[in-house]
Structure 1
Amino acid sequence: MKKLQSWVENNPEMVNTIISAILILFGLYFDHADNMSVAVPLYIIAFLIGGWHSMKHAWTDLTKYHKLNVDILMILAAVGASIIGYWMEGALLIFIFSLAESLETMAMNKTQDSIASLMQVTPDVARLYNEIGELIEVATADLKIGDRIQVRKGEAVPIDGRLLDEMAILNTAAITGEPLPVTLHYGEEVIGGTINEDEAFDMEVAVENVDTLFSKIIRMVEEAKNNPSKTSSKIKAIENIYVKAVLVAVPLFILLTPLFFKTWDYAESFYRGMVLLTVASPCALVASSAPANLSAISRSAKKGILFKGGDVVDKTNDLKAVIFDKTGTLTEGKPAIVDAFYHDPAQKEFIDQIVYAAESSSTHPIARAFIEKFEQEHVMLRPLDEVKDITGKGFEVINGEDTWRIGNKKFTLEHHLDTIKHDEHETILQYESEGKTVIYVSKNKQFAAFYTLADQVKAESKATIARLHEMNIKTIMLTGDEERNAQFIAKSLDIDKVRANLLPQDKAEIIHELQEKYGEVAMVGDGINDAPALAIADVGFALGTGTDVAMETADVVLIQDDLHLIPFSIGISRATRRIVLQNIIFSLSVIALLIVANLFQSINLPIGVVGHEGSTLLVILNGLRLLRYSEKR
């Protein structure tokens, strides 16, 4: 019973439509029994109830916005039919129109699902430690920066913050779409909406409730819904003019057709005018674009792509080239140990232990890369007698009677470069030609080993570039990195063009050049230095793990930090353009067909309404197909 009550409260238009249908059925019963004194009032009440929402919309648009909409045409057609004694047709017209409007409303509500699901992810209540350390329940909206809260097993994190326990295991599927849980450690960022899959943990609130990642996502999607595409705006702009034209054309039609069709009297002409008023209404044309764009925005939001409006969906369709920043976009954005070579392979384990012990004393990004590598390989941490961190050069380590150096070539080997064999030297040159950084290790100034570091290319980068090429889109890389490294990465990814050694302002100037050459271009970046380029590009893509400045400047935000979403974005925008074009052609064709059929007296008023409203529903359902869009490879 509660479900029925909830459905009635949430679907008032459909409730009125059902009541209207019941009244028409009773009216038909009394009509068949030749009891018109009862049938006609039933038809009139069915007319008023079924058309209530349409009359309200028409009145609001007319009095508040001073414009005419398609509801006026339907109401006038029904009133006109009733005036000449077609009470049943008038009531039936309003019922069918009301049914179509109700189904459209219910169908369009499907585009709100992704937003509604987002808003339900974060809980309204949080468990807060008060001044004396007791846990109390408070509204999430009342949390302040610095508050300490607890998240129990199975609960959703209520707000963004910082982990205060040693470890936590979180399901981040709501943010990243990835099914595997993520392990966080003390001090790392915890995002609101993720699910605690392990024991309860404590965290410190890092933002106000309105500044959480989910709040930003919801705001972006809501803003996108209210920012229509150019096509939608143009169609909406002509609706008022079109309705006025129909309102002028119909009286002329009624007055002039008896002069051209000798078999028509003015009663027939008036009836055919009411049919024309109905079938010429641009309902399907008006619905050609907006549902498709909203469906595309909602589907993309569910996928982790935030379009900042229907106009952005439009522009994404027209892209001819995609420009990538390198560091943090095509690459991981941090150095990693990718190769290791040992002068004496038998010494590998011992040398790794020495290097691990030295690097563990530093927080430098290069040291972090060594530590991550050795932790993964479970290398033992060897105790050392002395470790000196020599800024700009490396480490000098005393282990027993031996002096080890770890760092650049000049520091580690000084005047003993000849201890590197010819084939070892060739190997080093090969790595350096690939843009990798070489870290040398010497023992008593004798070459012992080297490691190479590189900013690793993301796993999805190559597939993304290949997919863009399949879509006939040029790819360009702009980077502040040095030429040799940039060229090697560009070649390995099969990127069409590369420009290196660039400052942020250089990127902006080059984008202007590329726009002149290719037309519409997109920029993909993640940092503050990318913000000018993201703003200048026709479409700016910001990675969700990037800076707030980049996310605010960009037109599209990729929440999942997954480059595969760029081809998906372009694909869904192209599908949207195709569907909108299909809808426009179909709706105009149906209007033309019904007008011609009316001239030949091949349709009556109810059939005209069914044809007109049926085309509107088909157009909307065609747009809703985008809610299930998936990129075909």
Structure 2
Amino acid sequence: MMAEHTCQHDHTKTEGHSHTHDHGTLPRNIYFVGLLLFILALFVPNQWVKDGFYFAAVLLAGYHISWEGIEDTIKSTRANRRFTPNVHLLMLLAAIGSMVIGNFNEAALLILIFAGAHFLEEYAEGQSRREITNLLKLNPTEARLVGPDGKAKKIAASEIKKGDILQVLPGDQLATDGVILSGTSAINEASINGESIPREKTTGDEVYGSTINGNGTFLMEVTKDSSETVFAKILSVVEAAQSNQSPTETRIKKIEPIYVTVVFIAVPLFILTAPFLFGWDWYTSFYRGIVMMIAASPCALAASAVPASLSAISNLAKKGILFKGSNYLTNFAQIKAVAFDKTGTLTVGKPTVTEAVFADTIDRAEAAAVIVSMEKQANHPLAD
């Protein structure tokens, strides 16, 4: 009966466990040693040696999640001033109970699946964090401040104040939002609006921090502090996405401590009353109570929403798509129609000359030479 229970147990921060532990590579390496011992045990004929390998797999693969289960339960209990267990502790006791009744292979399998899901979650979160870090690198760090004498000097972006006059040279990254006072240029605003073709800007036009200036030079007046720019707001939204949860995940987080507590109460109660209610012996009652504890682990509930959202967000982040959070991801289930922005989404957004048509009365080579010489004087993307 126990060997049939192969439901994948996943632990996530949405199950009431705040995933703030940094394990490093050592626990992961030890986990793989435990996994190797489990695989070797499958081919060992001697039962005592086989069980020894399974027991070693439990210790090596599960020591870190076991410690976290105990540590987090103590912290949560103190903070809430009532017993607040988490799924780590439930899995630990289920594995111990499995070994007590002689099912070392089941104990090792449970711990390996649970700990494996633990590391997979950590990996997925790491992928998202790396993409956020790459986005933060786009945040400008310096600017050219024009002083009263008309000379420009470099200052840190954090020192910029509203009303300052900044000089922007060709290829510069704009340090903050503002308005052009003099000059014209084509500015790449892909970091703000995703549009890959630069936009022509002239006196009076609004410009945005983190965008890239083209070939022109202009002066701009700062209208916002670096912390109030459009790009800064984008960063804050993206960072907030890390804690954003879907309604299902939120419900799981709320009911998980209650659920685990009920299991902890129900299993001993079942073991103690079963001999009197069903006439079982104590061994049968204990055995089936442990089976009940393992089967009662909330794997199906967790696997229904949490791993799917986590893996989807991580995979999207790897491909450069940043979601506001799993709450928005789950909205895709209700989508009836999709409207796409053409440029940069369905098309590359980089114009190329595909065909040139001339009237029969025009010399093709002469006309082409005139057109090229004219366009060389412009810095418009189509001119390039």
Q: By how many angstroms is 1:188 displaced?
A: 1.4
Q: Secondary structure at the match of 2:186?
A: strand
CA separation of 1:100 and 1:312: change in aligned 2, threshold 3 A: closer
Which amino acid counterpart does residue 51 of structure 1 have in structure 2?
S
Deviations 1:576-628 (A, max 9, x none): xxxxxxxxxxxxxxxxxxxxxxxxxxxxxxxxxxxxxxxxxxxxxxxxxxxxx
Instruction: Give the corresponding residue for 1:49.
Output: 64
- The unaligned stretches of length 5 or more in structure 2 are 1-20, 342-384
Instruction: Give the corresponding residue for 1:20.
Output: 31
Instruction: Give the corresponding residue for 1:186.
Output: 203
Q: By how many angstroms is 1:22 displaced?
A: 1.0
CA separation of 1:57 and 1:158: change in aligned 2, threshold 3 A: farther
Instruction: Give the corresponding residue for 1:578.
Output: none
- After superposition, residues 271-290 of structure 1 pair within 5 angstroms as 271-286=287-302, 288-289=304-305
Is contact 1:17-1:95 (8 Å) kept? no
TM-score (norm 2): 0.62
Is contact 2:238-2:322 (8 Å) kept? no
Instruction: Give the corresponding residue for 2:179.
Output: 162
Instruction: Give the corresponding residue for 1:142.
Output: 159
Is 2:205 aligned against 1:205?
Answer: no
Instruction: Give the corresponding residue for 2:79.
Output: 64
Which amino acid counterpart does residue 238 of structure 1 have in structure 2?
I
Q: Secondary structure at the match of 2:85?
A: coil
Count of matched residue positions in the alignment of Structure 1 and Structure 2: 312
Is contact 1:177-1:303 (8 Å) kept? no
Q: Secondary structure at the match of 1:121?
A: coil
Higher radius of gyration, 1 or 2? 1
Deviations 1:132-155 (A, max 9, x none): 555544332222122333444444
Task: For 1:24 and 1:305, locate their aligned partners in 2 and report how far apart those are by CA, in whole Å.
Answer: 34
Is contact 1:24-1:92 (8 Å) kept? no
Is contact 1:168-1:201 (8 Å) kept? yes
Which amino acid counterpart does residue 76 of structure 2 have in structure 1?
D
CA separation of 1:164 and 1:209: change in aligned 2, threshold 3 A: same
Deviations 1:16-65 (A, max 9, x none): 13313314645887995867998667753543235344444444333334
Q: By how many angstroms is 1:75 displaced?
A: 1.6
CA separation of 1:186 and 1:46: change in aligned 2, threshold 3 A: same
Instruction: Give the corresponding residue for 1:175.
Output: 192
Task: For 1:194 and 1:116, locate their aligned partners in 2 and report how far apart those are by CA, in whole Å.
Answer: 18
Task: For 1:57 and 1:236, locate their aligned partners in 2 and report how far apart those are by CA, in whole Å.
Answer: 14
- After superposition, residues 68-79 of structure 1 pair within 5 angstroms as 68-79=85-96
Which amino acid counterpart does residue 301 of structure 2 have in structure 1?
L
Q: Secondary structure at the match of 1:149?
A: strand
Name the structure, 1 or 2, with higher relative contact order (CA <8 Å, separation 6+). Answer: 2
Instruction: Give the corresponding residue for 1:119.
Output: 136
Task: For 2:291 and 2:51, locate their aligned partners in 1 and report how far apart those are by CA, in whole Å.
Answer: 26
Over the matched positions of the two proteins, sequence identity in percent amounts to 34
- After superposition, residues 386-465 of structure 1 pair within 5 angstroms as none
Task: For 1:46 and 1:231, locate their aligned partners in 2 and report how far apart those are by CA, in whole Å.
Answer: 29
CA separation of 1:103 and 1:197: change in aligned 2, threshold 3 A: same
CA separation of 1:14 and 1:243: change in aligned 2, threshold 3 A: farther
Task: For 1:168 and 1:86, locate their aligned partners in 2 and report how far apart those are by CA, in whole Å.
Answer: 73
Task: For 1:122 and 1:193, locate their aligned partners in 2 and report how far apart those are by CA, in whole Å.
Answer: 6
CA RMSD of aligned residues (A): 4.6
Task: Please say which of residues 179-188 and 201-210 is displaced more in the overlay.
Answer: 201-210
Is 2:109 aligned against 1:98?
Answer: no
Q: Secondary structure at the match of 1:100?
A: helix
CA separation of 1:128 and 1:289: change in aligned 2, threshold 3 A: farther
Q: By how many angstroms is 1:160 displaced?
A: 1.0
Is contact 1:158-1:192 (8 Å) kept? yes
Is contact 2:323-2:329 (8 Å) kept? no
Task: For 1:54 and 1:27, locate their aligned partners in 2 and report how far apart those are by CA, in whole Å.
Answer: 23
Q: By how many angstroms is 1:162 displaced?
A: 2.0
TM-score (norm 1): 0.41
Task: For 2:297 and 2:154, locate their aligned partners in 1 and report how far apart those are by CA, in whole Å.
Answer: 55
Is contact 2:177-2:206 (8 Å) kept? yes
Instruction: Give the corresponding residue for 1:482.
Output: none
CA separation of 1:292 and 1:78: change in aligned 2, threshold 3 A: closer
Task: For 2:301 and 2:30, locate their aligned partners in 1 and report how far apart those are by CA, in whole Å.
Answer: 29
Instruction: Give the corresponding residue for 2:349.
Output: none
CA separation of 1:272 and 1:122: change in aligned 2, threshold 3 A: same
- After superposition, residues 443-592 of structure 1 pair within 5 angstroms as 564=339
CA separation of 1:175 and 1:24: change in aligned 2, threshold 3 A: closer
Deviations 1:45-91 (A, max 9, x none): 54323534444444433333453322221121123234445556545
Task: For 2:315 and 2:49, locate their aligned partners in 1 and report how far apart those are by CA, in whole Å.
Answer: 52
Task: For 2:104 and 2:309, locate their aligned partners in 1 and report how far apart those are by CA, in whole Å.
Answer: 39
Is contact 2:174-2:213 (8 Å) kept? yes
Task: For 2:323 and 2:65, locate their aligned partners in 1 and report how far apart those are by CA, in whole Å.
Answer: 40
Task: For 2:245 and 2:62, locate their aligned partners in 1 and report how far apart those are by CA, in whole Å.
Answer: 33
Q: Secondary structure at the match of 2:220?
A: strand
Task: For 2:324 and 2:113, locate their aligned partners in 1 and report how far apart those are by CA, in whole Å.
Answer: 37
Instruction: Give the corresponding residue for 1:384.
Output: none
Q: Secondary structure at the match of 2:224?
A: coil
Q: Secondary structure at the match of 2:176?
A: coil
- After superposition, residues 573-612 of structure 1 pair within 5 angstroms as none
Is 2:243 aligned against 1:238?
Answer: no
Deviations 1:516-555 (A, max 9, x none): xxxxxxxxxxxxxxxxxxxxxxxxxxxxxxxxxxxxxxxx
Is contact 1:43-1:88 (8 Å) kept? no
Is contact 1:126-1:137 (8 Å) kept? yes
Q: By how many angstroms is 1:186 displaced?
A: 1.8
Task: For 1:291 and 1:152, locate their aligned partners in 2 and report how far apart those are by CA, in whole Å.
Answer: 47
Task: For 1:24 and 1:292, locate their aligned partners in 2 and report how far apart those are by CA, in whole Å.
Answer: 24
- The unaligned stretches of length 5 or more in structure 1 are 1-9, 319-467, 472-562, 567-633
Which amino acid counterpart does residue 142 of structure 1 have in structure 2?
E
CA separation of 1:79 and 1:127: change in aligned 2, threshold 3 A: farther
Q: By how many angstroms is 1:217 displaced?
A: 2.4
Which amino acid counterpart does residue 290 of structure 2 have in structure 1?
M
CA separation of 1:232 and 1:54: change in aligned 2, threshold 3 A: same
CA separation of 1:284 and 1:190: change in aligned 2, threshold 3 A: farther
